[in-house]
A = this chain, B = another copy of it.
Amino acid sequence: MTQTSFLAVIRLLSAQALLEQKFSQELGSVHGLSLNDSLLMMHLEQAPLLRLSRVDLAKRLCVSPSTVTRMTLPLEKLGMLGREADVRDARLAYVTLTDTGRKVIGAARQTLERKSKEVFKDRWSADEIEALADLLGRLTASQPNDLV
Protein backbone atom coordinates (compact mmCIF):
# COMPACT_ATOMS: atom_id res chain seq x y z
CA MET A 1 0.00 0.00 0.00
CA THR A 2 1.63 3.17 -1.24
CA GLN A 3 1.20 6.42 0.60
CA THR A 4 -0.54 9.19 -1.26
CA SER A 5 1.95 11.81 -0.17
CA PHE A 6 4.81 9.68 -1.48
CA LEU A 7 2.97 9.22 -4.75
CA ALA A 8 2.47 12.96 -5.07
CA VAL A 9 6.13 13.71 -4.43
CA ILE A 10 7.41 11.12 -6.91
CA ARG A 11 5.05 12.37 -9.58
CA LEU A 12 6.03 15.96 -8.94
CA LEU A 13 9.69 15.08 -9.40
CA SER A 14 8.93 13.18 -12.59
CA ALA A 15 6.75 15.98 -13.92
CA GLN A 16 9.48 18.53 -13.31
CA ALA A 17 12.01 16.47 -15.24
CA LEU A 18 9.56 16.30 -18.11
CA LEU A 19 8.86 20.04 -18.10
CA GLU A 20 12.50 20.96 -17.85
CA GLN A 21 13.25 18.78 -20.84
CA LYS A 22 10.44 20.38 -22.85
CA PHE A 23 11.29 23.97 -21.95
CA SER A 24 15.05 24.08 -21.66
CA GLN A 25 16.01 23.73 -25.27
CA GLU A 26 13.87 26.51 -26.76
CA LEU A 27 14.49 28.83 -23.86
CA GLY A 28 18.23 28.48 -24.34
CA SER A 29 18.38 28.68 -28.11
CA VAL A 30 15.89 31.54 -28.50
CA HIS A 31 16.64 33.72 -25.48
CA GLY A 32 20.00 32.45 -24.30
CA LEU A 33 18.65 31.74 -20.84
CA SER A 34 18.41 28.63 -18.72
CA LEU A 35 15.25 27.83 -16.81
CA ASN A 36 16.93 28.92 -13.60
CA ASP A 37 18.16 32.13 -15.21
CA SER A 38 14.57 32.92 -16.09
CA LEU A 39 13.29 32.21 -12.61
CA LEU A 40 16.00 34.42 -11.17
CA MET A 41 15.08 37.32 -13.42
CA MET A 42 11.38 36.84 -12.77
CA HIS A 43 12.05 37.14 -9.06
CA LEU A 44 13.86 40.40 -9.74
CA GLU A 45 10.99 41.59 -11.91
CA GLN A 46 8.56 41.57 -9.05
CA ALA A 47 10.99 42.83 -6.42
CA PRO A 48 10.35 46.32 -4.96
CA LEU A 49 13.27 48.10 -6.64
CA LEU A 50 13.95 45.48 -9.28
CA ARG A 51 16.71 44.24 -7.04
CA LEU A 52 17.43 41.50 -4.51
CA SER A 53 20.44 40.44 -2.50
CA ARG A 54 22.24 37.28 -3.53
CA VAL A 55 21.31 35.28 -0.46
CA ASP A 56 17.71 36.30 -0.90
CA LEU A 57 17.79 35.06 -4.48
CA ALA A 58 19.45 31.85 -3.34
CA LYS A 59 16.64 31.18 -0.87
CA ARG A 60 13.95 31.90 -3.41
CA LEU A 61 15.53 29.66 -6.02
CA CYS A 62 16.49 26.96 -3.52
CA VAL A 63 20.09 27.00 -4.71
CA SER A 64 23.35 27.73 -2.91
CA PRO A 65 24.70 31.28 -2.70
CA SER A 66 27.69 30.28 -4.81
CA THR A 67 25.33 29.26 -7.58
CA VAL A 68 23.77 32.71 -7.59
CA THR A 69 27.20 34.28 -7.87
CA ARG A 70 28.05 32.08 -10.83
CA MET A 71 24.66 32.50 -12.49
CA THR A 72 24.69 36.29 -12.35
CA LEU A 73 28.22 36.70 -13.68
CA PRO A 74 27.52 36.01 -17.38
CA LEU A 75 24.13 37.74 -17.27
CA GLU A 76 25.83 40.80 -15.85
CA LYS A 77 28.40 40.80 -18.64
CA LEU A 78 25.55 40.61 -21.17
CA GLY A 79 24.00 43.71 -19.62
CA MET A 80 20.84 42.00 -18.37
CA LEU A 81 21.75 42.31 -14.71
CA GLY A 82 23.54 44.97 -12.71
CA ARG A 83 25.22 45.27 -9.34
CA GLU A 84 24.29 47.75 -6.65
CA ALA A 85 25.72 48.33 -3.20
CA ASP A 86 23.74 49.01 -0.06
CA VAL A 87 24.28 52.34 1.68
CA ARG A 88 24.05 50.90 5.18
CA ASP A 89 25.55 47.41 4.75
CA ALA A 90 28.70 47.10 2.68
CA ARG A 91 28.40 43.32 2.62
CA LEU A 92 25.33 43.40 0.43
CA ALA A 93 25.71 43.24 -3.34
CA TYR A 94 22.26 43.59 -4.81
CA VAL A 95 21.50 42.02 -8.15
CA THR A 96 19.49 44.45 -10.26
CA LEU A 97 17.43 43.97 -13.40
CA THR A 98 18.46 46.35 -16.17
CA ASP A 99 16.23 47.68 -18.95
CA THR A 100 17.80 45.17 -21.29
CA GLY A 101 17.10 42.46 -18.76
CA ARG A 102 13.46 43.49 -18.50
CA LYS A 103 13.02 43.20 -22.24
CA VAL A 104 14.74 39.82 -22.41
CA ILE A 105 12.82 38.25 -19.54
CA GLY A 106 9.61 39.67 -20.98
CA ALA A 107 10.25 37.87 -24.24
CA ALA A 108 11.31 34.71 -22.44
CA ARG A 109 8.12 34.82 -20.41
CA GLN A 110 6.08 34.78 -23.58
CA THR A 111 7.87 31.63 -24.68
CA LEU A 112 7.26 30.06 -21.30
CA GLU A 113 3.59 31.00 -21.40
CA ARG A 114 3.16 29.53 -24.83
CA LYS A 115 4.84 26.27 -23.91
CA SER A 116 2.93 26.12 -20.65
CA LYS A 117 -0.31 26.22 -22.57
CA GLU A 118 0.94 23.39 -24.77
CA VAL A 119 1.52 21.22 -21.71
CA PHE A 120 -2.16 21.32 -20.82
CA LYS A 121 -3.38 21.55 -24.40
CA ASP A 122 -5.38 18.35 -24.43
CA ARG A 123 -7.37 16.59 -21.73
CA TRP A 124 -7.25 19.51 -19.27
CA SER A 125 -10.11 21.81 -18.28
CA ALA A 126 -9.54 25.33 -17.01
CA ASP A 127 -10.74 24.26 -13.57
CA GLU A 128 -8.28 21.42 -13.40
CA ILE A 129 -5.35 23.62 -14.32
CA GLU A 130 -6.40 26.12 -11.69
CA ALA A 131 -6.78 23.36 -9.10
CA LEU A 132 -3.23 22.18 -9.84
CA ALA A 133 -1.87 25.72 -9.62
CA ASP A 134 -3.62 26.25 -6.28
CA LEU A 135 -2.36 23.02 -4.76
CA LEU A 136 1.19 23.67 -5.91
CA GLY A 137 0.89 27.17 -4.53
CA ARG A 138 0.29 25.72 -1.11
CA LEU A 139 3.51 23.76 -1.38
CA THR A 140 5.56 26.82 -2.21
CA ALA A 141 3.69 29.03 0.24
CA SER A 142 6.18 28.16 2.95
CA GLN A 143 8.90 29.76 0.88
CA PRO A 144 9.87 33.43 0.72
CA ASN A 145 7.90 35.44 -1.75
CA ASP A 146 5.93 33.35 -4.15
CA LEU A 147 6.52 33.96 -7.83
CA VAL A 148 4.07 35.37 -10.42
* Residue positions of A touching B, CB distance < 8 A: 2-21, 23, 35, 39, 42, 61-63, 109, 112-113, 116-117, 119-120, 123-124, 126, 128-133, 135-140, 142-143, 146-148
17 cross-chain CB contacts under 8 A: A2-B148, A3-B113, A3-B116, A5-B116, A5-B119, A5-B120, A6-B148, A7-B148, A8-B132, A10-B42, A11-B133, A11-B137, A12-B132, A20-B62, A124-B138, A128-B135, A132-B132
Q: CB-CB < 8 A to A131: which residues of B?
A: 131, 135
Task: Tell me the minimal C-beta distance from A119 to chain B in angstroms.
Answer: 7
Do the beta carbons of A17 and B139 come within 8 Å of each other? no
